[in-house]
Structures are given as structure tokens and as C-alpha cells.
Amino acid sequence: MAGSKVSGDAATPRGVGEDGAASSVATGPGTRADDETPWRRSGRLRSSVGHDGAAASRARTRAGAEGLTEITTPRTTIATIAQEAGVSVPTVSKVLNGRADVADATRERIEELIHQHGYRRRRAASPATAPMVDLVFHQLGSAWAMELIRGVEEVARDAGVEVVLSECGEGRVPRKEWLESALKRRPLGVIMVFSDLEPAQRRQLEARNIPFVIVDPVGDESDDVPSIGSANFSGGLAATRHLLGLGHRRIGMIGSAVDVACSRARIAGYRAAIEGHGIVYDPALVRHGDFYVDGGHRHGRDLLQLDDPPTAIFAGSDLQALGVYKAARELGLEIPRDLSVVGYDDLDVARWVGPTLTTVEQPLMEMAEQATRLVLALSRGERPSSTRMDLAVSLVVRESTAPPARPADTAPPARAG
């Protein structure tokens, strides 16, 4: 069922203008397609690159052959930095090249001086190395991640650029093994998806003139960090207003961790709609977890077994909404007769489940495409007028929402499973 769509705000600029990759896969021109791996279907497998990037690095020599030349000024050279840091020129070169054999304290001192001086290196032509971008995820494997991979690969393929996929694992910040591997690969740029870089990692990329762009930022980024997101507040507002318009007054909300920026914005939109309708905001109806099925199931059961359960739940992702479906089924509730559910993202699965899922469409492919175009432009030395943007979202109404069967304050608690 296609559903009806209600548009949100137009795309708006946001400013002027633990493990590193357990297995990094390069895709792009020159590689055979792998039908069994969704993210390889439109590209071609180039090579496997592990944490240490051994497959790529063995074909290269160290500092002298890394295809880099110094950008020097009368006041700032690699020798100047070495002198101020009290180390040798080769030690500074090791830090610039991402070598691990430098003491942490020495590395931090050199990186700080590089940052203070605004020292940069530029890449020289390297015909033996295919151009590539690094695409780093918090976690791979979900339908959400596949949509973003498709968007990045669409633009990269047209530009003749390969894509190296990496996964952070348990944390949202890649470990130093990923950085060392990336510096050896010398990508045109790095795209971070729902993950982030530590300040020291950013400085090392900046020193090597490797730009980075963040998609769906986890935290509140400063204005000088290029990022592509979506209008999360508007999405939360539209989803909640839809449920209020159907007559629901007791609406549950499931978000991600409290420190995740996009989740905070969706919850803020939810709260604004609730309070704008003259209803007192009830924090007991809000749950924080993650954007996956298990989290939606766990928190969905908790909400539905309250003494005064909600008649509707707004889930922060479509995967969470699937978890709520499971919880409702276990408790003998029928959607939408006994419970209305709204998701977020509009993944393909939203059209496959029964009943089909009302959800907020987030333009994942477009976000990935914009991020890829931006990082490639930055790699060419261009300075786009806007490097921070929120793309518009829209509400897609399907079969999972309906007016409540009875007023929320007289609805009986859900049956225990």
C-alpha cells in the first residue's frame, strides 16, 4: 500500500556555507558484483583491507612514496614543527603518515603544533592508486545502513571512485587501527555515518588534507564540521500531530540513547506537539534505548504494561516499530484496533509488514548522495557555500494508525504475556 504522504519542511542549511574496521571492503569500478552481499550489488569488489590495511600498504613505501608533498610557508615547515616539538624531522613525518611507533605524549604534542600552525600536506598525483572514499558505520548489516551505502555508491561510481566500508563495532568512534589503515590508504575523504571522530583523529586527517563529512551526526557538531542530516524535529512533530489528530491523547515515544542528537530532536518534536495540544508532557511515556528491533520490543512491552498504557506509540525508527509490533502481538493487542504505531525512516520493510507501517520518510539515499558529493568537492579544494544541511522529511500514512477504540484514560491495561 503506497500510503498518503504529507510533506515536511524544505531542506535547510545548518550553517554558512571499538573497533576499527573488522573487515573493510572496497567497492567500485573494476570489481565483480557479488549478488549475495546487498551493498556490493552496484559496485565491484576491489580488495579486502583489514585493520592494518596490509593489502594496500604492502604495495606502497613509507613517507617518501606516499604521494604527498609539503605545503610550506616562510614560517611553517616540517622542520619548524620538529624544532618546536623538540623531536627530529622523521618523527614528525611518522605522525603525519599515521605511523604507530611514536609515543602517545609525543604524538599529541606534534599534532597540537600541526593544528596551531594550520600545517597541511597536499597529495600529489598517484596513478598507481585508485581514488577511494572511506565510509565508516557504527554498525553494518541493517536495512537502514544498506540505503545509505546505495546512496554513497551511486555518486562514487559515477565519479569513478571506490568505496571502502568500515564498521566501528561496539563504540561510535573508530579505534586507532582504523585511522592507521585509512592514512595508509590515503582516501580522497571520509564519510562517517552515525559515528564520530575523536579530536586527535580529526587533527590527523586535517594534517593530511583528508576531508571528512558526518551523516546523521551523533552529537552536536560545531559549525565548521561538514555534516548532512534531516529535519528530525519536524519529523517528530508531524508524527505526533498525526496521532493527536486521530484522537490519541496518551502517546508513548521510544528514542535512542539520550546523547544521540537526532533522537533528542525527534523527542523534542514529539514534546512540542503534545504540549501544543494542551497535554502535560509525561516523561514516563518516553523510553531511551537504541534504534533496533530488540530495543523497540523491550521498551514497547514496558509501555504497554503500564497501569495506564498508551493508545499509540511513536517509534524512533522503523526497526523499533517492528519491535513494538512484536510486543503488541505477545500481549494480545491488535494494530491499529488496540494500538496505533508510527515509525521513522520509511525503509522497504515498512511496506512489507502487516499492517503496513505509517512512518516518517527520511531521505537516506539523498543524505548519502549529498554527503558523497560534498566530501568529493572538499577533496578537490572547493569550498561549498553550505557544508551543513538538514534535508526535508515527510509523513507517510499507511495502515498502522487509526482513531483509538476508546479514550486513553478508560483503556484497560494490556494483558500480560
Name beta bridge partners: 108: none
User: What pLDDT is attached to residue 174?
Assistant: 76
Q: Residues 60-105: pLDDT tens digits?
A: 333 333 343 344 344 567 777 777 888 876 687 777 766 667 787 8
Q: Residues 99-158: pLDDT tens digits?
A: 667 787 887 788 778 777 766 555 444 444 679 999 988 777 678 888 999 999 999 999
Contacts of 307 (CB under 8 A, 6+ apart): 413
3-state secondary structure of 72: coil
Pairing verdict, β 68-70 and 24-28: unpaired
User: Domains of the chain: which residue ranges?
Assistant: 17-58+129-222, 64-123, 232-364+395-410
Name the grid cell of 157.
561510481
Buried b (16+ CB within 10 A) or exposed e, 283-295: eebbbbbbbbbeb
Give the Cα separation of 315 and 280 in Å (integer).
Answer: 20
The dotted CATH code for 64-123 is 1.10.260.40
Name the grid cell of 342.
508510527
270 and 237 in contact (C-beta within 8 Å)?
A: yes
Per-residue pLDDT 10s for the chain (417 aa) are 445 555 444 454 444 333 333 334 444 443 333 333 333 333 332 333 333 333 333 333 333 333 433 443 445 677 777 778 888 766 877 777 666 677 878 877 887 787 777 665 554 444 446 799 999 887 776 788 889 999 999 999 999 999 988 887 666 777 778 888 888 888 999 999 877 788 888 888 888 889 999 998 876 666 678 999 999 999 999 999 999 999 999 999 999 988 888 999 999 999 999 999 999 999 999 999 888 899 999 999 999 999 999 999 999 999 999 999 999 999 999 999 999 999 999 999 999 999 999 999 999 999 999 999 999 999 999 988 888 899 999 999 999 999 998 654 444 444 444
Chain-centroid distance, C-alpha 416? 36
Buried b (16+ CB within 10 A) or exposed e, 91-122: bbbbbbbbbeebeeebbebbbebbbebebebe
User: What pLDDT is attached to residue 177?
Assistant: 80
Q: What is the pTM assigned to this prediction?
A: 0.69
Which CATH homologous superfamily contains domain 17-58+129-222? Response regulator (3.40.50.2300)
For the range 332-338, what are the long-range contacts, defined as Cβ-Cβ under 8 Å and sequence gap of 24 or more? 332/414, 332/415, 332/417, 333/304, 333/414, 335/400, 336/399, 336/400, 336/401, 336/402, 337/402, 337/405, 338/311, 338/405
Nearest to 384 by CA among 151, 226, 265, 229: 226
Contacts of 306 (CB under 8 A, 6+ apart): 284, 413
**Pick among 3.40.50.2300, 3.40.50.1820, 3.30.465.10, 1.10.238.10: CATH of 232-364+395-410:** 3.40.50.2300
Q: Hey, do 64-123 and 232-364+395-410 end up sharing a CATH topology, with the first three levels equal?
A: no
DSSP 154: H
Residue carrying the nine cell digits 512512518:
359
